[in-house]
Chains A and B, each alone.
Chain A
Amino acid sequence: GAGVSQSPRYKVTKRGQDVALRCDPISGHVSLYWYRQALGQGPEFLTYFNYEAQQDKSGLPNDRFSAERPEGSISTLTIQRTEQRDSAMYRCASSPERGGFSAEQFFGPGTRLTVL
């Protein structure tokens, strides 16, 4: 079956431009997560959705970052006025359970963002 997909896989943009990263979770998965991964580091949590409700955005670094999941399926992470420090791999994950202490998260391949 289809896994989590993300698009684009690679994005190169100039400083100051806005970018939108898309995540298409596994069909029927309740929970959706966004993580950011710097080179040589583990992923860091950005935000969490339970269906369409954004229940935790504590990891978003500043107000240039926002995310939505309007119909409880596809999600978009938007970065406004990009800066070079935003360059990283952005990973999306989905899970069939709501939050959960032990639920497996299924990760997409990631979007590699480079800000020049």
Chain B
Amino acid sequence: GDSVTQMEGPVTLSEEAFLTINCTYTATGYPSLFWYVQYPGEGLQLLLKATKADDKGSNKGFEATYRKETTSFHLEKGSVQVSDSAVYFCALIWASNTGKLIFGQGTTLQVKP
């Protein structure tokens, strides 16, 4: 069945470091891909999305490119801040009649000053 695999966490970086969180997926057809973020004490919120191959989603300095050939959607940011500390979830939607999300296991990011 459809699935999403993320790199293991936690990831600990110093402020202004470069961030990559790997995400690969398995799905029949061409799903839509998402990154959701959960800040401490809050609910999940959409960070960015891409709906077709080679699309780049971007928001708040984060970027991810939909790579069909490698079935990947890696999250990147050039310079992280302490406020980026959160849990990041990669997810896909394939069953378009319901829009149900299939999530990866989440990657915890801790940014130290």
- Chain A residues with CB under 8 Å of chain B are 3-4, 31, 33, 35, 40-45, 48, 55-56, 59, 91, 93, 95, 97, 99-110
Contact = CB atoms under 8 A, between A and B. Distances in A.
B43 A48 contact: no
B98 A104 contact: no
Given A91-B43, A107-B45, A109-B43, A101 B101 contact: no
Max count, chain B CB within 10 A of own CB: residue among A42, A91, A101, A108: A42
B99 A95 contact: yes
B49 to A, nearest CB: 6
Contacts of B49: 102, 104
A41 B101 contact: no
A103 B51 CA distance: 10
Top 4 closest pairs, chain A to chain B, by CB: A42-B103, A107-B43, A107-B44, A99-B99
